[in-house]
Amino acid sequence: MAELQFFTGTMDSGKSTLALQTNHNRAARGLAGRIFTTRDRAGGSLLTSRLGLKHDAIEVDPTFNFWHFVVDALTAGGRIDYLICDEAQFYTADQVNQLAKVVDELQIDVFAFGILTDFRSTLFAGSARLVELADRMHVLQVEALCWCGKRATHNARTENGEMVVEGEVIVVGDVDKPEHEAEVAYEVLCRQHHRRRLTAARAKAVSLTAEPLPFD
């Protein structure tokens, strides 16, 4: 029986690498799949991992319809045994519904990969719907680490080096920005340091600041 499986973890936990490996393993056994992504770090129509691996992918925008895509491909004589869906946190709830329908009605396996929460520690709409609908949910065992060495559980956004907890939900980081715009970046933190807004850069700055002695 086909399944909708959701693989989740923080940034740097190897989701995209696992997505590529999942595709490789099935393609090596003669199965035919399609790879989807949205807002990948390398730009459109590519699924990339931080290890340097990459594969061509179909870009998913908010108007994309998985059900129509798969039905049209099958009707045209194509073969699809599975779907690889990376950056699934950015999918709409309706798109996740479409993926579930592909699994149930067409018996095609769907492997979705994405982070659970945004920089505000709020569930993404796509991830929330995947948690509700997935046949199986896997938390990746490769642990990303906070700068302090503890397991990272939260994704933090920084603008011009300062951690922020308000703003647009989806902002792509690590891209060239005009000088008048904020430089956006992301890092992973443990819950304690996310609550304190203590990023690696700020922690380093604090450690270099002279602290008063504990006595007069």
> Does residue 66 sit in the same domain as residue 103?
yes
> Does residue 135 sit in the same domain as residue 190?
no
Quick: pLDDT tens for 32-51: 999 999 865 555 676 766 66
Q: Which of 3, 87, 143, 187 is catalytic?
A: 87
Q: CA nearest 143: which of 5, 6, 20, 11?
A: 11
Please indicate, yes or no, if residue 215 is contained in any of the structural domains: no
Quick: pLDDT tens for 166-210: 777 666 554 334 434 558 888 889 889 988 888 888 888 776 554
Rounded to whole angstroms, how far apart are CA atoms 88 and 110? 11
Please indicate, yes or no, if residue 34 is contained in any of the structural domains: yes
Q: What is the DSSP letter of 91?
A: S
Q: For residue 211, is pLDDT > 60?
A: no
pLDDT value of residue 15 = 85
Please indicate, yes or no, if residue 145 is contained in any of the structural domains: no
pLDDT value of residue 179 = 39
> Does residue 17 sit in the same domain as residue 104?
yes
72-94 exposure pattern, b = at least 16 Cβ within 10 A, e = fewer: eeeeeeeebbbbbbbbbbbbbbe
> Does residue 79 sit in the same domain as residue 173?
no
Please indicate, yes or no, if residue 45 is contained in any of the structural domains: yes
pLDDT value of residue 163 = 87
In the chain, the number of structural domains is 2
Please indicate, yes or no, if residue 18 is contained in any of the structural domains: yes
pLDDT value of residue 165 = 80
Q: For residues 124 and 120, which has the higher predicted lDDT (pLDDT)?
A: 124
> What rounded mean pLDDT belongs to the chain?
84
Q: Is 87 a catalytic residue?
A: yes
> Does residue 95 sit in the same domain as residue 183?
no
Q: For residue 216, is pLDDT > 70?
A: no
- pLDDT band of residue 86 (cuts 50, 70, 90) is very high
> Does residue 98 sit in the same domain as residue 121?
yes
Q: Tell me which residue range forms the domain holding 13.
A: 4-139
- Domain end: 139, 167, 185, which one? 139
